[in-house]
Amino acid sequence: MKITGVELRRIAMPLVAPFRTSFGTETTREVLLVRVVTADAEGWGECVAMAEPRYSSEYADGAADVLRRFLIPVLPGQADAQAAGRAMEPFKGHRMAKAALETAVLDAQLRARGESFGSFLGASRDRVPCGVSVGIMDSVPELLDAVTGYVEEGYLRIKLKIEPGWDLAPVRAVRERFGEDLLLQVDANAAYTLADAHHLARLDEFGLLLVEQPLADDDLVQHARLAKLMRTPICLDESIESAAHAAAAISLGACSIVNVKPGRVGGYLEARRIHELCRAHGVAVWCGGMLETGLGRAANVALAALPGFILPGDTSGSGRYYATDITPPFVLDDGHLPVPAGAGLGVDPVPEILREVTVSAEWIAL
């Protein structure tokens, strides 16, 4: 497949409500989109790097820079996703940037041959159960209102963002209001240290599915210690940037569940490898999210349909974050989203909407 050029497009999407985590508050999602053009088809990749390096070291402007200077120039003349991935390997890190370019190449390749992401990745279902990530709020009543809305929309699992000072009380309130059958989990985004182990163990009484990334990104050994001190299963997000990290975490006993985010691990091919590895070790995985537009969401839903993705993902409907998505919206049906069946991602940006949210676009000819 001959790639003739790549477009880097910056868009800004207003969120329906501010989204607060232990690392910051978002009101607008600034996204870098990568569009690969070939003679036969175009492909899209959404870079999940955020505007500022708070979730991880990557950020959107940095991703655009490394793509423009290093990653796009080494794309082979004849490239498929695997070849593109190999060509980018000598450059360290920048996994979110690499993932976006690899995904755009994969989308173009699959569109050209009429195969869907789901079929290519090995999806075993045509719809996936959906959870929702609920931000930190100013008060518990405000949180209960938000969770009530999501439960009424049909979400099958609720994830509460936590941080020191916003943990036991909100979790207790949600558990008491919605009962023991609600699938409930929490995500600390690395806001605690091992010195908080005793406090974190108090979450055990709430019957949570998991606690996600309680300690720092590089604290695998501390996570293994914490795992021995609490009953709630530990799930890692930020700590797992590759299949090698997942293997290390599993052998150390640092986690018993993995949040798979394709952007964080360098793309859907590496995400699939992590799925295979975890499946072989009896470690459950689920698909995380990064406030994706419909383009990234489509690929995530396809990944979430693989057989090892046994927990509901952060694969919410488009309306969770955006009043108007750049693609036709993903809408929950009975708590599930359909896996797109069309070629490639199976969804396209709506040209007028894409134009409205575009901040800048840059064409790099190859």
- With a CB cutoff of 8 Å and minimum separation 6, the contacts of 211 are 185, 186, 187, 188, 200, 203, 230, 232, 233, 234, 235
CB of 208 to ligand OSB, least distance (A): 15
Pairing of strands 131-134, 157-161: parallel
Q: How many CA atoms lie within 13 A of 66 on its CB side?
A: 21
187 binds ligand OSB (CB under 6 A): yes
Would you say 94 or 111 has its CB closer to ligand OSB? 94
191 binds ligand OSB (CB under 6 A): no
Would you say 112 or 301 has its CB closer to ligand OSB? 301
CA distances to 121, 250, 253, 257 from 281, rounded to whole Å, are: 20, 8, 12, 11
Of 26, 107, 187, 217, the residue at the interface with Mg ion (CB under 5 A) is: 187
CB distance 45 to 34 below 8 Å: yes
- With a CB cutoff of 8 Å and minimum separation 6, the contacts of 186 are 159, 160, 161, 162, 167, 171, 203, 208, 210, 211, 212
CB of 105 to ligand OSB, least distance (A): 23
241 binds Mg ion (CB under 5 A): no
CB of 150 to ligand OSB, least distance (A): 11
235 binds ligand OSB (CB under 6 A): no
Of 9, 34, 49, 55, the residue at the interface with ligand OSB (CB under 6 A) is: 55
What phi, psi does 65 have (nearest 5°)?
-65, -45
Helix axes 268-280, 95-113, angle to 10 degrees: 100
Among positions 72-131, residues that touch ligand OSB (CB under 6 A) are: none
Centroid of chain to Cα 56: 13
289 binds ligand OSB (CB under 6 A): yes
Residue 2, SS3?
A: strand
Would you say 210 or 227 has its CB closer to ligand OSB? 210
Q: How far apart are CA 157 and CA 141, in angstroms?
A: 19
* 261 a catalytic residue: yes
Provide the mask over 201-240, with x wherever binding to Mg ion is found by CB under 5 A and - wherever it is not.
-----------x------------------------x---
* 92 a catalytic residue: no
State the binding partner of 270 from Mg ion, ligand OSB, none, CB within 5 to 8 A by kind: none
Q: How far apart are CA 221 and CA 81, in angstroms?
A: 34
CB of 160 to ligand OSB, least distance (A): 10
Of 314, 322, 327, 340, the residue at the interface with ligand OSB (CB under 6 A) is: 314
Q: How far apart are CA 83 and CA 196, in angstroms?
A: 45
Contact footprint for ligand OSB (CB under 6 A)? 55, 133, 187, 189, 237, 288-291, 314, 316
- Give the catalytic positions in this structure: 161, 261
Contact footprint for Mg ion (CB under 5 A)? 187, 212, 237
